């Protein structure tokens, strides 16, 4: 009864017009517009056009709603990664470089959602557990299999640094500089270590 439809959406869009997704979209809009501290149920109600009852029917609590946002984000990220990596192994491209691309692309596309996740995390860190698990799963073997694991790790860290700094509004890098950094990162993980 608590989860009339279970947490993971079973019927993506068939009969159900994906009410949950509409609500999640609204929540994302609220966060990106007013900041993650202003993510309140009433705000989502206002933004989504649904009533409070409707929202709370689909997400029985605020925590559930945030979990919904997080899990949708993770799903998206995992798809991005898996898809890109699959393509990379098919074409023989460098997996580390591929992952860097994915991270930076993700940064550009899902900035707002990631912010929400971040905010949620600061309040209840356990919400980040699945995120951490996903990151570990994807990265560890890539790093381990890289010709220069330390360098691979550094490159991924730098990409993360770029991403996170951007999320926090801390990055003051120009697009040109960022392009240079990106190119250099790819180069660093592509050639075998000089040492």
Partner DNA sequence: AAATGCAAACCGACCAGACGGTATAGATGC
Partner DNA sequence: GCATCTATACCGTCTGGTCGGTTTGCATTT
The footprint of a second copy (CB under 8 A) covers 35-38, 115, 118-119, 121-125, 128, 131-132, 135-136, 150-151, 153-162, 164-165, 168-170, 172-173, 177, 180-181, 184-185, 187-188, 194-195
- The dihedral built from the CA positions of residue 41, 164, 130 and 113, taken in this order, carries a sign that is positive
Q: Which does 186 bind (CB under 5 to 8 A by kind): a second copy, DNA, none?
A: none
Question: How far is 165 from 107, CA to CA, in rounded Å?
Answer: 10
Whichever of 79 and 191 has its CB closer to a second copy, that residue is 191
Between 18 and 173, CB nearer to a second copy: 173
Asked if 193 interacts with DNA (CB under 7 A), we say no
At a CB cut-off of 8 Å and minimum separation 6, what does 57 contact?
A: 4
Is 19 one of the binding residues for DNA (CB under 7 A)? Answer: yes
Site for DNA in 31-60 (CB under 7 A): 38-43, 49-54, 56-58, 60
Place of tokens 């501290």: 37
Q: What is the rounded distance in angstroms from the CA atom of residue 51 to the CA atom of residue 186? A: 48
The answer to whether residues 129 and 70 touch, using CB atoms and an 8 Å cutoff, is no
């Amino acid at each position: 009864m608590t989860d009339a439809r279970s947490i993971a959406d079973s019927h993506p869009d068939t009969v159900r017009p994906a009410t949950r997704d509409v609500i999640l979209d609204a929540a994302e809009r609220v966060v990106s517009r007013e900041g993650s501290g202003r993510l309140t149920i009433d705000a989502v109600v206002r933004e989504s056009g649904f009533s409070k009852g409707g929202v709370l029917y689909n997400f029985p609590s605020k925590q559930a709603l945030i979990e919904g946002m997080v899990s949708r984000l993770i799903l998206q990220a995992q798809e991005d990664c898996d898809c890109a990596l699959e393509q990379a192994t098919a074409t023989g491209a460098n997996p580390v470089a591929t992952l860097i691309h994915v991270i930076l692309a993700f940064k550009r596309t899902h900035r707002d959602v990631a912010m929400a996740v971040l905010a949620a995390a600061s309040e209840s860190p356990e919400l980040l557990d699945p995120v951490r698990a996903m990151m570990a799963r994807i990265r560890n073997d890539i790093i381990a299999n890289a010709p220069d694991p330390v360098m691979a790790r550094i490159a991924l860290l730098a990409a993360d640094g770029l991403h996170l700094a951007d999320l926090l509004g801390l990055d003051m890098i120009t697009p040109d500089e960022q392009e240079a950094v990106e190119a250099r990162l790819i180069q660093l993980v592509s050639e075998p270590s000089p040492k």
